[in-house]
Structure 1
Amino acid sequence: MKDNSGSLYIIEAILAITILLVAVFVVNTVISIPSPEYSYEAHDLTSAQDTMEVLAGKIDFEDQTFLCEISTILKENKNSKKSIGEVSEICQNKLDSFKIANYKFCENNKLKGKVLAYRGNDNNAGEVSVATRTYGDYSYTLYVW
């Protein structure tokens, strides 16, 4: 039987290409670069950076930021004990609303490291997430563990 149309050659070529592609895929999967090992252990640690972004960010362009609000209270009252107490209460309520297990919120510049809000025991803190933001003359630091 004579093949004048060349169909056997075409079938043979397609079969050879298919075998070659299968071989390439097998070699590729065997010799692939190993992916890094990711930890599947979830941490309940809320990032201080994320929380501080919420405190420093505006909801829309007409709202004040939380840091602006507390800085204004402190500045207008010349950092009086009454204004520090008021700001401490506002900060405590705001950070408690985020349901953060343990945190410390301080003002570092004008109040010389005064702790404005605090929850938990930092003596046994393993991993501590830290974020700092500045508003005007005031510099705030949030520690979360």
Structure 2
Amino acid sequence: MLDEKGNLFIIEAILAITILLMAVFVVNTVISIPSPDYSYETHDLKSAQDIMEILSGKINFTDQTFLGEISAILKENKNSKKSIREVSDICKNKFDSFKLTNYKFCENNKLKGKVLASKGNYDNADKVTVATRTYRDYSYTLYVW
């Protein structure tokens, strides 16, 4: 009995392709390629760069930034002790809203490194991230650990 229409050949070809696909699927599941991890440590919104980006971004629809707001307070009051205390309170409240556990926020230019807000022991700090932003005559540095 000859297969004149080639039905047997088509069935054999489909069977061979099925076996080949099953073999590829088995090999694919056995060999697992790990997904690339770019960092072995988890970092949430606690890096100094992230926080400074938020502080230098617009607060509301008046084009006012947080750094602009505290700089204006300092400049209007000619860097008086009262204005430094007011800015320190504003900064502490702002950093508390970010739920930062260890940080130090300084002004480096006009106030010559005055610490405006801090929390935690900087001397025992490990893995400190640092970011600096300048707003007009004032230069602010944030340390987060």
TM category, shorter: 0.7 to 0.9
Query: 2:20 is matched with which residue?
Result: 20
User: Retained in 2: the 8 A contact 1:45–1:144?
Assistant: no
Q: CA deviation at 1:9?
A: 0.5
Where does residue 102 of structure 1 map in the other structure? 102
Closer/same/farther in 2, CA of residues 60 and 6 from structure 1, 3 Å limit: farther
Shift of 1:60: 4.2
Offset at 1:132? 1.5
The residue number in structure 2 matching 1:4 is 4
Q: 3-state DSSP class of the match of 2:131?
A: strand
2:124 and 2:22 map into 1 onto residues whose CA distance is: 56
Please state whether the residue corresponding to 1:78 is helix, strand or coil: coil
Q: Percent identity?
A: 78
Structure 2 unaligned residues grouped into runs of 5+ = none
RMSD (CA atoms): 2.5
More divergent stretch after superposition (112-121 vs 49-58): 49-58
- Contact 1:57/1:65 (<8 A) preserved: yes
Partner of 1:129: 129
Aligned residue pairs: how many?
A: 144
Normalised TM-score (structure 1): 0.83
CA distance in 2, matches of 1:98, 1:36: 30
**SS where residue 52 of structure 1 aligns?**
helix
Deviation at 1:25, TM superposition (A): 3.7
* Displacement of 1:12: 0.7
Query: 1:142 maps to which residue?
Result: 142
Letter in 2 for 1:17: I
Q: Is the 8 A contact 2:45 2:51 kept in 1?
A: no
Q: Note if 1:77 corresponds to 2:73.
A: no
Gaps of 5+ in 1: none
How many Å separate the matches in 2 of 1:60 and 1:5?
78
- Superposed displacement of residue 84, structure 1: 1.4
Distance 1:43 1:26, change over 3 A: same
- 66-75 or 132-141, larger mean C-alpha shift: 132-141
The answer to whether the 8 A contact 1:47-1:144 is kept is yes
Equivalent AA in structure 2 for residue 99 of structure 1: K
